[in-house]
């Protein structure tokens, strides 16, 4: 009797594994057939695939029709994360599957504020990956905390959009008055600072046109955005700051700039300063 039960358990587990790979490969009809078996654990976790479930992997691969099938099965836990804490909704946002994100946001069972193991929220990962349509969708959802930083580096969605040079997303976020445009992650690098540091001229121009931006805020080591631009030889940004922006108090940084420019050998930047 025990042997028969063990054989039956093994058969069911084989079917659960089949369901997982059918969801991963996009086999709609196979999934439909397997879901008719009441003995199957629809939340079977694949230990060889970060403990992901069939529903998770369907969202990860962007199989919309399979996602719909699974959403209609009451046995499926649609919030079940993988071993890194990434939920099906999170991975759909990460991979840019807009239709799946729409489906999940309209399901009352969804936990919208679940994050990954690193504390990356939905809007953070969408901003990081540059998925502007998903960012728009999340901005229009009142449940989303648009300023919540991740746990690992304390980076906000706006900061990561600037850091990764997603210009259209930066524009979108600047138009939303709820966005904290100056919040800095660990180390004190503000969105304006990182843009000057990396030489992202287009983003620096956008930020300078917003009166909310603090263009003086230094890092924890006292380095200002204009200092960072000089340090990395970002000449066009230095010109922009010294020649075109009335908010830059250039006389306050003259001594420090001189020392830096001499050390770096970027003396032509010094000539720019004396044209002010």
Q: How far apart are CA 105 and CA 111, in angstroms?
A: 9
Span 92-120, average pLDDT: 86
Q: How far apart are CA 129 and CA 252, in angstroms?
A: 38
The pLDDT-based confidence of 4 (bands split at 50, 70, 90) is low
pLDDT at 189: 96
Q: How far apart are CA 130 and CA 91, in angstroms?
A: 14
Q: How far apart are CA 110 and CA 113, in angstroms?
A: 9
- The more confidently predicted of residues 57 and 244 is 57
pLDDT at 99 over 80: yes
Tell me the domains of the chain and their CATH numbers.
1-117 (1.25.40.20), 187-276 (1.25.40.20)
Burial class (CB in 10 A: 0-12, 13-18, 19+), 140: exposed
Give the model confidence (pLDDT) of 50-79 as tens digits: 999 999 999 999 999 999 999 999 999 999
In the numeric block, which tokens belong to residue 96? 């840019």
Give the model confidence (pLDDT) of 193-211 as tens digits: 999 999 999 999 999 999 9
Number of alpha helices (DSSP H) and beta strands (DSSP E) in the chain: 16, 0
pLDDT at 43: 95
- The more confidently predicted of residues 91 and 272 is 91
pLDDT at 23: 97
The pLDDT-based confidence of 265 (bands split at 50, 70, 90) is low
Q: How far apart are CA 93 and CA 225, in angstroms?
A: 32
144-to-121, 149, 252 alpha-carbon distances in Å: 9, 12, 41
Beta-bridged to residue 46, according to DSSP, are 52
Q: Is 189 within 8 Å of 218 (Cβ atoms)? A: no
215-to-179, 238, 255 alpha-carbon distances in Å: 17, 13, 19
Give the model confidence (pLDDT) of 9-50 as tens digits: 678 888 999 999 999 999 999 999 999 999 999 999 999 999
Span 125-137, average pLDDT: 97
DSSP for residue 46 = B
pLDDT at 190 over 90: yes
Percent of the chain with pLDDT over 90: 67
CA atoms within 13 A on the CB side of 198: 17
pLDDT at 268 over 70: no
Give the model confidence (pLDDT) of 83-98 as tens digits: 999 999 999 999 999 9
């Amino acid at each position: 009797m025990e042997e028969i039960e063990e054989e039956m358990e093994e058969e069911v587990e084989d079917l659960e594994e089949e369901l997982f790979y059918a969801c991963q490969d996009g086999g709609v009809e196979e999934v439909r057939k397997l879901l008719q078996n009441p003995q199957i654990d629809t939340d079977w976790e694949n230990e060889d695939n970060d403990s992901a479930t069939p529903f998770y992997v369907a969202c990860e691969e962007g199989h919309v029709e399979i996602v719909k099938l699974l959403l209609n099965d009451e046995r499926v836990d649609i919030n079940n994360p993988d071993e890194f804490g990434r939920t099906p909704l999170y991975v759909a946002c990460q991979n840019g599957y807009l239709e799946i994100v729409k489906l999940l946001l309209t399901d009352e069972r969804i936990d919208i504020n679940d994050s990954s193991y690193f504390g990356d929220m939905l809007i953070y990962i969408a901003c990081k990956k540059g998925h502007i349509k998903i960012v728009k969708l999340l901005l229009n959802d009142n449940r989303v905390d648009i300023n919540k930083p991740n746990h690992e580096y304390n980076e906000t969605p706006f900061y990561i959009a600037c850091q990764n040079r997603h210009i259209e997303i930066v524009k979108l976020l600047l138009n939303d008055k709820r966005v904290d445009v100056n919040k800095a992650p660990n180390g004190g690098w503000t969105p304006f600072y990182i843009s000057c540091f990396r030489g992202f001229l287009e983003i620096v121009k956008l930020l300078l046109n917003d009166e909310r931006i603090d263009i003086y805020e230094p890092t924890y080591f006292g380095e200002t955005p204009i200092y960072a631009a000089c340090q990395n030889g970002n000449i066009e940004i230095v010109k922009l700051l010294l020649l075109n922006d009335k908010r830059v108090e250039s006389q306050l940084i003259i001594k420090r700039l001189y020392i830096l420019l001499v050390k770096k050998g970027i003396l032509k930047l010094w000539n720019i300063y004396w044209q002010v």
